[in-house]
C-alpha cells in the first residue's frame, strides 16, 4: 500500500458487527485518504476484554500475528527478578493441545517464523506466516493464553531456567561492557523501583523461584483483558474477528490490571560507581533521570541527544572523536513507560584519564550552551526521525508492532500522526528548555568501567551505597488466584489446517547496464516512498592476497570514503544527508566493498549528488587517515577481549591456514594496519575500485527509465581492468583435533566445529541440496542440534550448523556459546548428533517437515525493500536464471530420503573436523582432556602457544599438545 494518503478517522461506536463475530464490538475504524502518514486498521473489543486490532494489507501473501501482554520486568518483585522474561521462555513449551516444543515446529513447518520478546513494560509473542496459515497461528496463541498451566512441568521449568542463565551469560556476563546497564539501573533508581533491575534478572533470583511462582505469574498477568491481539497482512477484519471469537472468546477474563504509578527519580548528589571488566577501553557513562515515553518533553530531549552525541555533526564527535581522544562518544535518550534517562557514553583511548574525559564533557556542554540550537540541528532531527517512522512501515510486522505498542501504552493505535506532529513541532527553545530543566547542573549516575587490573582508571572514588530504607513491597495480588479453563463448543485438540495456498509473488525485475560496465538490476516497490540502492564492488579484502602485509587496507579505504570529499568535509556531508533523511554507508567485507544508499523518493536527486561526491571525489586527507588508522589499530587490539571474535578468528585461521588471506580478519592485524600508508589507500582506491567489477541493485518507488537517467553521473567513473584473486583452497584436516584458547574467567565457552568443504555456492546444485540436508540437523530452531543442546540439556541459548560458501568453497560449521560447566558435554553432543545424522540420515517425518517448512517460506522472503534488494543481488552476483526459485522448489519437492542420507554421509566427516573452544582453560581443560582428542593450545590470535612474535602469521608447528588418542 502507498503512504500517499489523508487520514479519515471514524469513531463508529460500540456497535456489533456481523453474525459470525457478533460478540466483538467495533470501537473504531481508521482508513487512509490523501498523503498523511497513517496505518489503517479496525479495532474491536471482545466481552472478555481482549482488544483486537486488524490491519488489512494485500500487497504480500503473508500475515503477522502479535499478542502483546502489558507485563514486563516492571511487574516483578524484589528477589524474583527476571521472571517476566523467564515466563516468555515457558510460553513456548507447550499447552494442553500443543505438545512439547510443537509451537516452533508447527509454525516453522507452515513456512513461518516466530519469536517472543520481553522488556520492562510488556511481553509479546509473534508469528509471520503465509496468509493461509492465519487460523493455525490464532489457535496456537489462544491455546497458550487459555490452556498453559497443566502442561507446565518441573522438568520444563528447570531446562528453561538453564536456558535463561545461558542467555544472561552470553549477552551480559560474557560480553564486554555487558553489565553496564545493570549498574546504571540499580544505582539510578531507588531500591525496589520497577526499573532497578534488568529484564534478564539476577542468577540468584532465578535460582530462588519455583514452578508455583511461575503459575501465579501467569494467572495474575496473562488474562485476555491485559492483552492486545494485533493481526496484519493479507487478511480481512471479518476473517480475523470470526477466528478471534472462536479461539479467544471463551477464555475467562483475568484479574484487573491498573497502570503502575511511580514518582519521578530525584538524585540528591552525583552517584559515582565503577566495576572491573575484561575490556581494552575504559568507559565513562553518565545517566540523568528524565521523562517516560510519550511525555511532552520526550521529543525535545531526543533532539538534544542528537545534537550532543548523535553523529558526525554532533559536538561529542567533534570534541572527543575527531580529536583522537576517544574511539567512541555518543548520547542517547532511551525512554520506557515509567521513566527515561539521558545517557552520555564515552570510550576514551587507553591511557586517557577518566577525569580528563569528564572535563572534556563539561567543556562540550559549555560550548553547547554558548552555541545554542541551530535551524540545521532541527532540520536534521526532524528529517531523520520522519524517515525512521516511514521505514518502520515497510513491513507488515513493523506496522503491526507499532499498532500493538500504541494500543498497549496509550489505548490509541492511531498515534502515528500525532507522533509525527510531535516531532515536527519541537522548537529550538524547547531543546534549550529541557537542557536546563533535566541536564544542566543536575545530578547523575557516573559509571566507570575500567580494564582488568587497572583500578587507577577510576579517578573519583565510588560514593553511593544502595539503601533499602523506606522500601515497601507492593502487593500485586497473587493470593487466591485460580486457574479457570475455557469451556468450548468445539474440539481444540484438532489442529486447524491451512487455507488455500496464496499466490507467490516473486518480485518482477529488470536488467540494465551503464556504459562503463556497471551491471544494474532493479524492481519497483511502491509500498513506501523510499529507494534502496546496493552497490557491490567485487574484491574487497581479497585484494590483500596481493600484498598480505597490508591486510586491513580494504576496511581502511572504505572508512576513508565515508569521510571528507574534495568539496565537503565529513561533517558537511553528514549534515546534508541528515537534512534529507538519507543515508550513504560504505563498508568492506571479505569479498566486496559495499555501498548502501537509502533515500526518500522526493530527495533522491539530492542524495545521488552526495553519492557522487563520496564515490568519485574522496579527499583522502592526512588528518582523517591518521585518526581512522589509529581507531582501526585499537579496534583490532580490542578483539582479544571478545570471546565470539576470538573463536571466529582462530577457527578461520585453522580452516584456511595462516598463509591464506581468508584467515586474516577484514580489519587486519596490528602489524599489517600499522604498515599501511595514506599513499597505499589512494593506490588501493585507484587500482581496485572499478565499474567493471561493480553491480548495482535498485529497489523503490521509481521506474527503470526514470532512475537510470538519474545515474548518468556514474559514467564519469572510469573503467579499468580488475582481477579479483581466486586462490584455490586445498587445506585438508587429517584427523579431528581440539584447539583450546584460554579466556580467563569466561562465564561461557564458544565452540566451533567444522571443516572446509569443496562446495562453492550454487542455487540449484550440490550446495543447495547440502543446505536442505542441514536444515534438520542445525538449520531450524527445532533442528536436532538446537533441540538437544538448548531444549533438552539447557547447555546453551542457541546452537546451529550450516554451510557458508560464496564463489569459492566455504566451511560447514556447527557452533554455540555454552555454559562453561557443560563445555565437554556440548562437544560430545555436537559430535554425537552429526555422527548419528551421517550414519542414519533423516527420518521420513523430518523430510516432510523440511519440505513443508521451506516449501512455504518463500511467501515471507520478498516483502521489504531490503529483502527484495538481497534477492536481486544474489541473482546478479551469481548470474542466476530468472526462474531459479521455481527450480529450487522443484528440487525440494522431489528430493528423497536416500538423497538426503547420502549427502549427510558425505558432508559430515566427523573424524576430520576442527574443534575450536574458547573458554576458561583452568576450568574446562581437565574435562576436555577426557574426550580423547589431541588438544592444541592457541593464543588469542589463533597461533600455537609459544610461537614467537616473528613467527606470527606463518605456519607453525603445534605446541603444548596433550591427550593424543585422536578420534
Cα 118 to Cα 199, 269, 449, 714, distances in angstroms: 7, 32, 26, 46
Cell numbers for 139, please give them.
489457535
**276 phi, psi to nearest 5 deg:** -90, 140
pTM for this predicted structure: 0.91
Closest CA to 272 of 457, 401, 106, 142: 457
Residue range 555-612, pLDDT digits in tens: 999 999 999 999 999 999 999 999 999 999 999 999 999 999 999 999 999 999 999 9
Average confidence (pLDDT) over 128-153: 96
> Cα dihedral angle (279, 285, 291, 292), rounded to 10 degrees?
0
- DSSP secondary structure letters along 557-578: HHHHHTS-BSS--HHHHHHHHH
Asked whether the predicted pLDDT for residue 948 surpasses 90, the reply is no
Rounded CA separation 841/833 (Å): 11
Contact 343, 332 (CB under 8 A): yes
pLDDT for 951 equals: 45
Q: Contact, 823 vs 928, CB < 8 A? A: yes
What's the confidence (pLDDT) of residue 727? 67
Q: What is the mean pLDDT of residues 191-206?
A: 94
What is the per-residue pLDDT for 966?
30
Of the candidates 280, 400, 432, 332, the one whose C-alpha atom is nearest the C-alpha of residue 940 is 280
Instruction: Give the homologous superfamily in CATH for domain 47-248.
Output: Metalloenzyme, LuxS/M16 peptidase-like (3.30.830.10)
Q: Crossing angle for the helix pair 298-309 and 375-391, nearest 10 degrees? A: 110
Residue 200 has a pLDDT of 95
Mind giving me the DSSP string for 444-482?
-EEEEEEETT-GGG--S--------TT--------TT--
Residue 279 is predicted with a pLDDT of 92
Helices (H), 96-153: 102-109, 134-146
Is residue 27 helix, strand or coil? Answer: strand
How much is the average pLDDT of 484-492? 94
Strands 694-700 and 519-524: parallel
Residue 744 has pLDDT above 80, yes or no: yes
Position 963 scores a pLDDT of 38
Closest listed residue to residue 638, CA positions, set 622, 654, 649, 624 = 649
Q: What cell numbers appear for 936 in the block?
A: 592444541
Per-residue confidence (pLDDT) for residue 947, from 0 to 100: 57
> Does residue 512 register a pLDDT over 70?
yes
Q: Is 954 exposed, middle or buried (CB count within 10 Å of its CB: 0-12, 13-18, 19+)?
A: exposed
Characterize 705-720 residue by residue with b for buried, 16 or more Cβ atoms within 10 angstroms of its Cβ, and e for exposed: eebbebbeebeebebe
Distance CA 527, CA 54 (A): 18
Lowest mean pLDDT among 128-142, 200-214, 946-960: 946-960
> For residue 253, what pLDDT is reported?
97
Element (H, E) at 171: none
pLDDT at 674 over 80: yes
Q: What is the mean pLDDT of residues 307-336?
A: 96
Q: What is the mean pLDDT of residues 376-394?
A: 94
Q: What is the DSSP letter of 663?
A: G
Fold of 737-962: Cytochrome Bc1 Complex; Chain A, domain 1 (3.30.830)
Backbone angles phi, psi at 191, to 5 degrees: -55, 130
Which residues, other chains included, contact 95 with Cβ-Cβ below 8 Å and sequence gap of 6+? 143, 144, 147, 148, 151
Is residue 540 within 8 A of residue 587, CB to CB? The reply is no
Read off the pLDDT of residues 250-309 as tens digits, 9 standing for 90 and up: 999 999 999 999 999 999 999 999 999 999 999 999 999 999 999 999 999 999 999 999
- Report the CATH number of the 510-716 domain: 3.30.830.10
Q: What sign for the dihedral angle of Cα 291, 293, 297, 300?
A: positive
Which three three-digit cell numbers place residue 203? 542468577
Residue with cell 545521488: 608
Topology agreement, domain 271-391+406-457 and domain 510-716? yes
Distance of alpha carbon 91 from alpha carbon 112, whole angstroms: 18
Task: Please give the CATH architecture assigned to the domain spanning 271-391+406-457.
Answer: 2-Layer Sandwich (3.30)
β-strand pairing of 510-513 with 519-524: antiparallel
Please state the domain extents for the chain.
47-248, 271-391+406-457, 510-716, 737-962
Percent of the chain with pLDDT over 90: 86
Q: Please count the other Cβ atoms lying within 10 Å of the Cβ belonging to residue 367.
A: 12
- For residue 502, name the pLDDT band (cuts at 50, 70, 90): confident
Confidence band for 659, pLDDT divided at 50, 70 and 90: confident
Q: Which three cell numbers stand for residue 333?
A: 535518550
Check residue 934 and give its pLDDT.
97
Kindly state the average pLDDT of the residues 34-56.
94
**Nearest residue to 697 (alpha-carbon basis) of 841, 535, 856, 914:** 535
pLDDT, tens only, 205-215: 989 888 998 89
Indicate whether 946 pLDDT > 90: no
- Residues 355-374 have pLDDT tens digits of 999 999 999 999 999 999 99
93-98 average pLDDT score: 95
| Helix, strand, coil share (%) of the chain residues, nearest 5 | 45, 20, 40
Contact of 566 with 748, CB cutoff 8 Å: no
CA angle 114, 115, 118 (to 5 degrees): 155
pLDDT mean over 146-161: 92
Higher pLDDT, 483 or 859: 483
Q: Please, what is the average pLDDT of the chain?
A: 92
CA distance 921 to 81: 31
Backbone angle region of 495, left / alpha / beta, with phi > 0 → left and psi within -120 to 50 → alpha: beta
Please tell me the distance from the alpha carbon of residue 354 to that of residue 456, in angstroms, as a whole number. Answer: 10
Distance CA 160, CA 942 (A): 34
Q: Give the model's pLDDT for residue 730.
A: 65
Residue 748 bridge partners (DSSP): 819
Taking the C-alpha atoms of residue 107 and residue 361, their distance in angstroms, rounded to an integer, is 50
pLDDT of residue 372: 96
Residue 296, C-beta contacts closer than 8 angstroms, at least 6 positions apart: 422
Q: Give the max Cα distance, the chain.
A: 82
Amino acid at each position: 500500500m502507498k503512504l500517499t494518503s489523508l487520514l479519515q478517522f471514524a469513531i463508529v461506536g460500540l456497535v456489533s458487527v456481523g453474525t459470525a463475530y457478533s460478540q466483538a464490538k467495533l470501537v473504531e475504524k481508521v482508513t487512509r485518504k490523501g498523503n498523511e502518514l497513517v496505518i489503517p486498521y479496525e479495532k474491536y473489543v471482545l466481552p472478555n476484554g481482549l482488544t483486537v486490532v486488524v490491519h488489512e494489507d494485500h500487497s504480500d501473501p503473508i500475515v503477522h500475528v502479535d499478542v502483546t501482554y502489558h507485563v514486563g520486568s516492571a511487574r516483578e518483585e524484589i528477589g524474583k527478578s527476571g521472571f517476566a522474561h523467564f515466563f516468555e521462555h515457558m510460553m513456548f513449551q507447550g499447552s494442553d493441545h500443543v505438545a512439547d516444543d510443537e509451537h516452533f515446529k508447527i509454525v516453522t513447518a507452515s513456512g513461518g517464523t516466530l519469536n517472543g520478546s520481553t522488556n520492562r513494560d510488556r511481553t509479546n509473542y509473534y508469528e509471520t506466516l503465509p496468509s493461509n496459515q492465519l487460523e493455525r497461528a490464532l489457535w496456537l496463541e489462544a491455546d497458550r493464553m487459555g490452556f498453559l498451566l497443566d502442561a507446565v512441568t518441573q522438568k520444563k521449568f528447570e531446562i528453561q531456567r538453564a536456558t535463561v542463565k545461558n542467555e544472561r551469560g552470553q549477552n551480559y556476563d560474557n560480553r564486554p561492557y555487558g553489565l553496564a546497564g545493570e549498574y546504571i539501573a540499580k544505582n539510578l533508581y531507588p531500591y525496589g523501583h520497577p526499573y532497578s533491575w534488568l529484564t534478564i534478572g539476577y542468577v540468584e533470583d532465578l535460582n530462588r523461584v519455583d514452578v508455583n511462582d511461575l503459575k501465579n505469574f501467569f494467572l495474575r498477568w496473562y488474562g485476555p483483558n491485559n492483552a492486545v491481539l494485533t493481526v496484519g497482512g493479507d487478511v480481512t477484519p471479518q476473517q480475523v474477528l470470526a477466528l478471534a471469537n472462536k479461539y479467544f472468546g471463551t477464555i475467562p477474563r483475568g484479574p484487573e490490571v491498573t497502570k503502575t504509578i511511580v514518582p519521578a527519580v530525584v538524585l540528591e548528589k552525583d552517584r559515582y560507581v565503577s566495576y572491573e571488566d575484561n575490556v581494552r577501553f575504559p568507559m565513562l557513562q553518565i545517566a540523568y533521570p528524565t521523562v517516560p515515553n510519550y511525555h511532552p518533553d520526550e521529543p525535545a530531549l531526543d533532539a538534544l541527544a542528537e545534537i550532543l552525541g548523535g553523529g558526525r555533526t554532533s559536538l561529542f564527535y567533534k570534541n572527543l572523536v575527531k580529536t583522537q581522544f576517544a574511539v567512541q562518544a555518543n548520547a542517547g535518550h532511551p525512554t520506557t513507560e515509567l521513566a527515561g534517562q539521558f545517557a552520555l557514553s564515552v570510550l576514551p583511548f587507553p591511557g586517557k584519564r577518566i577525569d580528563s574525559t569528564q572535563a572534556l564533557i563539561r567543556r562540550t556542554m559549555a560550548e553547547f550552551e554558548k552555541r545554542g540550537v541551530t535551524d540545521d540541528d532541527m532540520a536534521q532531527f526532524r528529517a531523520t526521525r520522519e524517515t525512521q517512522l516511514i521505514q518502520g512501515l515497510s513491513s507488515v510486522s513493523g506496522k503491526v508492532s507499532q499498532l500493538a505498542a500504541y494500543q498497549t501504552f496509550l489505548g490509541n493505535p492511531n498515534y502515528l500522526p500525532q507522533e509525527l506532529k510531535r516531532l515536527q513541532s519541537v522548537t529550538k527553545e524547547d531543546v534549550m528548555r529541557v537542557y536546563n530543566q533535566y541536564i544542566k547542573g543536575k545530578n547523575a549516575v557516573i559509571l566507570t568501567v575500567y580494564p582488568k587490573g587497572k583500578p587507577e582508571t577510576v579517578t573519583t572514588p565510588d560514593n553511593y551505597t544502595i539503601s533499602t530504607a523506606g522500601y515497601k513491597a507492593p502487593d500485586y495480588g497473587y493470593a487466591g488466584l485460580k486457574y479457570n479453563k475455557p469451556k468450548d463448543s468445539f474440539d481444540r485438540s484438532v489442529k486447524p489446517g491451512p487455507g488455500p495456498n496464496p499466490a507467490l509473488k516473486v518480485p518482477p525485475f529488470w536488467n540494465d547496464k551503464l556504459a562503463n560496465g556497471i551491471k544494474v538490476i532493479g524492481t519497483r516497490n511502491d509500498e513506501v516512498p523510499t529507494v534502496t540502492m546496493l552497490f557491490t564492488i567485487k574484491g574487497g579484502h581479497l585484494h590483500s592476497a596481493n600484498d598480505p602485509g597490508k591486510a586491513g587496507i580494504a576496511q581502511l579505504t572504505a572508512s576513508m570514503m565515508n569521510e571528507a570529499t574534495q568539496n565537503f568535509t565529513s561533517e558537511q556531508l553528514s549534515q546534508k544527508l541528515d537534512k534529507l533523511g538519507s543515508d550513504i554507508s560504505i563498508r568492506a567485507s571479505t569479498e566486496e566493498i559495499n555501498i548502501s544508499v537509502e533515500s526518500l523518493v522526493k530527495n533522491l536527486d539530492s542524495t545521488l549528488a552526495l553519492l557522487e561526491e563520496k564515490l568519485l571525489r574522496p579527499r583522502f586527507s592526512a588528518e582523517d587517515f591518521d585518526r581512522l588508522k589509529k581507531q582501526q589499530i585499537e579496534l583490532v587490539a580490542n578483539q582479544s577481549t571478545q570471546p565470539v571474535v576470538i573463536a571466529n578468528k582462530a577457527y578461520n585461521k585453522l580452516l584456511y591456514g595462516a598463509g591464506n588471506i581468508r584467515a586474516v580478519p577484514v580489519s587486519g592485524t596490528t602489524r599489517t594496519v600499522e604498515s599501511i600508508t595514506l599513499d597505499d589507500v589512494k593506490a588501493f582506491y585507484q587500482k581496485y575500485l572499478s565499474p567493471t567489477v561493480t553491480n548495482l541493485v535498485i529497489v523503490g518507488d521509481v521506474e527503470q527509465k526514470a532512475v537510470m537517467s538519474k545515474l548518468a553521473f556514474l559514467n564519469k567513473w572510469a573503467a579499468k581492468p580488475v582481477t579479483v584473486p581466486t586462490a584455490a583452497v586445498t587445506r585438508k584436516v587429517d584427523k579431528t583435533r581440539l584447539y583450546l584458547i584460554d579466556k580467563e574467567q569466561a562465564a561461557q565457552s564458544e565452540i566451533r566445529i567444522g571443516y572446509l568443504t569443496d562446495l562453492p555456492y550454487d542455487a540449484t546444485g550440490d550446495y543447495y541440496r547440502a543446505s536442505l540436508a542441514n536444515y534438520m540437523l542445525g538449520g531450524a530452531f527445532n533442528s536436532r542440534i538446537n533441540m538437544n543442546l538448548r531444549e533438552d540439556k539447557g547447555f546453551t541459548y542457541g546452537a546451529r550448523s550450516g554451510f557458508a560458501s560464496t564463489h569459492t568453497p566455504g566451511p560447514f560449521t556447527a557452533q554455540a556459546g555454552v555454559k562453561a560447566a557443560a563445555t565437554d558435554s556440548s562437544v560430545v553432543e555436537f559430535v554425537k548428533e552429526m555422527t548419528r545424522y551421517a550414519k542414519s540420515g533423516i527420518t521420513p517425518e523430518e523430510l516432510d517437515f523440511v519440505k513443508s517448512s521451506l516449501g512455504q517460506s518463500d511467501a515471507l522472503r520478498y516483502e521489504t525493500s531490503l529483502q527484495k534488494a538481497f534477492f536481486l543481488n544474489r541473482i546478479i552476483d551469481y548470474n542466476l536464471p530468472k526462474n531459479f526459485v521455481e527450480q529450487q522448489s522443484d528440487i525440494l519437492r522431489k528430493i528423497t530420503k536416500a538423497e538426503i542420507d547420502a549427502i549427510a554421509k558425505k558432508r559430515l566427516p566427523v573424524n576430520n573436523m576442527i574443534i575450536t573452544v574458547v573458554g576458561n582453560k583452568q576450568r574446562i581443560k581437565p574435562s576436555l582432556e577426557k574426550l580423547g582428542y589431541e588438544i592444541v593450545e592457541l593464543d588469542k590470535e589463533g597461533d600455537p602457544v609459544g610461537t614467537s612474535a616473528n613467527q606470527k602469521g606463518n605456519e607453525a608447528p603445534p605446541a603444548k599438545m596433550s591427550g593424543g588418542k585422536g578420534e
